[in-house]
Amino acid sequence: MRLTHRTLLSLMKRIGGKVDDYAQYRPSALSMQNLIDFGRKAEEKASFNFLRKELLVRLANVMKEVALLPESLLGTPSAMLVYQWYQESFQDLLQFENVEYSPNISNDFTTQLTQIVNRHNTVVETMAEGLMEMKASHGIDPVTQKNIQFFLNRFYLSRISIRMLINQHLILFGQATHPFYQSSQHIGCIDPNCDVIGIIEDAYENARFLCDRYYLRSPGMKLECKNDLQPSQPITIVYVPSHLYHIMHELLKNALRAVTEYQQDKDALPDVHVQVVKGKEDLSIRISDNGGGVPCRLVGNLFNYLYTTASLPSPEIHEPSAPMAGLGYGLPVSRLYARYFHGDLFLVSMEGYGSDAYVYLKALAVEASEVIPAYTAMSKKMFNNVEKSSQWSRAVPTGSF
């Protein structure tokens, strides 16, 4: 069945208008401090009562924005499958909408959340397949590309926020386990004393392993650290270790690949330099490489989901946990992880020399609050508010005079 806007509306009606009802509410943005304080109390009933409503709100906001996508994308089998997953998850959570808390209900809720996490494990890859299907059958014009870029940033950021809440509940009250969260000091998936340097070193070692495996060589890493407030103390922040690892692994993997390819004729590869500074407000990380850089006009493209500097995604260099590497998803998704708690990530490149990647994270847990897209009446206008033609002059082709 080909998914059209009419079909999508029909699917919405099967949920009895509940999607429309919950989409009227804005998601409740929590700070890292909120999550820490709640996790220390570890009240399962309070978590159940909050999540059974909040998750419906977040899912409904996402589903309303999916309906705004161009039909050329909505009609692909992969995009339709993604929407069906969200519909099923919304329906699964509706059964807990008005029930009273009890240990048995809580167990059922936890089981349902686990199923939802598993169902959505490949959302990023499946939506990427939908984009490739659309590109192959319809092509993508600049206006559509800009709309899709706007949507995917919001879509994946919402996905991060939903998984954050679910994982926090499952680790605190369920049977979920993860190598990042096995320390007794962790509060759910949050580490109150996240070892920034340790995560960077782990990310480098794994990126180096991939580089060695594919190129049979790899650059070293020089690490420089400064704790401006407490010079004698290690650099730690309240953060989600898996999020920081995702960001660092992607950036270091890109840096190692760029250096190895650009310096392939050299006997010795120059090191990748990493600087980490913790100030009053920001934790700042800079990764500098001598990988040749890219032209200034292409820097913005590096965060485009439909752009990649790699010719083909290679299973030899990209491990299963990062299957979108080489398809243009690594950098934009990493930037979303940084922005999720009011941080940021950007690149500065010098063509012919190399690139610097900057990551900024909030040093204070109370300032690290969620950034969550919300569906409003303006959303449709924002999706369609794309200039059809440039209002700036263009260069005159060579030889015109």
Q: What is the pLDDT of residues 182-228, one digit of tens each?
A: 566 899 999 999 999 999 999 999 999 999 999 999 999 999 999 99
Residues 6+ apart with CB under 8 A from 321: none
Give DSSP secondary structure letters for 26-49. Answer: PP-PPBHHHHHHHHHH--HHHHHH
Q: Please report, for the domain that includes residue 237, its CATH number.
A: 3.30.565.10
Considering 152, 185, 218, which residue would you say is the last residue of a domain? 185
In a domain? residue 28:
yes
- pLDDT tens per residue, range 73-97: 988 999 999 999 999 999 999 999 9
Query: In the annotation, is 290 catalytic?
Result: no
Same-domain status, 205 and 91: no
| Same domain for 126 and 23 | yes
Q: What is the pTM of this model?
A: 0.89
- 399: region left, alpha or beta (phi > 0 left; psi from -120 to 50 alpha): left
Give yes or no for residue 151 having a pLDDT over 90.
Answer: yes
Q: Please report, in angstroms and rounded to a whole number, the separation of the first and last CA atoms in the chain.
A: 55
Among 255, 252, 211, CA closest to 355: 255
Is residue 377 in some structural domain? no
The predicted model gives 138-159 an average pLDDT of 91
Return the pLDDT at 71.
87
Residue 19 pLDDT level (bands cut at 50, 70, 90): very high
Q: What mean pLDDT, rounded, does the chain reach?
A: 88
Q: Which two tokens stand for residue 164?
A: 């954050």
The predicted model gives 380-386 an average pLDDT of: 68
- Range of lowest pLDDT (191-195, 243-247, 314-318, 372-376): 314-318
Domain boundary residue, one of 185, 215, 235: 185
* Active-site residue, from 147, 250, 278, 318: 250
Whether 81 is in a domain gets the answer: yes
Regarding whether 122 and 17 lie in a shared domain, the answer is yes
pLDDT digit string (tens) for 304-354? Answer: 998 755 544 443 333 444 433 455 689 999 999 999 999 999 999 999 999
**Active-site residue, from 147, 254, 290, 362:** 254
Structural domains in the chain (count): 2
| Catalytic option among 64, 169, 246, 273 | 246
Residue 386 lies in a domain: no
Residue 380 lies in a domain: no
Sheet hosting strand 272-278, strand order edge to edge: 221-227, 272-278, 282-292, 353-362, 344-350
The pLDDT confidence band at residue 178, using thresholds 50, 70 and 90, is low
For 299, the domain range is 191-367
Residue-level pLDDT at 15: 78
Catalytic residue status for 253: yes
Number of neighbouring beta carbons within 10 Å of residue 304: 17
Q: 233 with 271, same domain?
A: yes
Beta-bridged to residue 277, according to DSSP, are 226, 284
Q: Which of the following is catalytic: 64, 253, 318, 362?
A: 253
Asked whether residue 285 is assigned to any structural domain, the reply reads yes
The angle subtended at Cα 76 by Cα 72 and Cα 81, nearest 5°, is: 135
On whether both 228 and 209 belong to a single domain, the answer is yes
- Kindly report the CA angle at 86 between 85 and 88, in degrees rounded to 5? 65
100 and 246 share one domain? no
Which pLDDT belongs to residue 185? 86
The rounded distance, in Å, linking the Cα atoms of 238 and 33 is: 8
Residue 202 and residue 319 in one domain? yes
* Burial degree of 151 (CB within 10 A; 0-12, 13-18, 19+): buried
Q: Identify whether residues 139 and 281 lie together within a single domain.
A: no
Between residues 128 and 386, which one has the greater pLDDT?
Answer: 128
Same domain, 170 and 205: no
Question: pLDDT (tens digit, 9 = 90+) per residue, 39-78?
Answer: 998 899 999 999 999 999 999 999 999 988 888 898 899 9
Our answer to whether residue 266 is catalytic in this structure is no
Listed residues 163, 185, 207: the one ending a domain? 185
172 in a domain, yes or no?
Answer: yes
Q: Is 381 a catalytic residue?
A: no
Beta bridge partners of 361: 283
For residue 122, tell me if it sits in a domain. yes
Kindly state whether residues 345 and 224 are assigned to the same domain: yes
Say whether both 22 and 140 belong to one domain.
Answer: yes
**Average of pLDDT values for 360-378?**
93
Same domain, 129 and 220: no
Q: What is the CATH number of the domain that holds 87?
A: 1.20.140.20
Element of type H or E holding 288? strand 282-292
Residue in this structure with the two tokens 């589903």, named with its chain if needed: 63
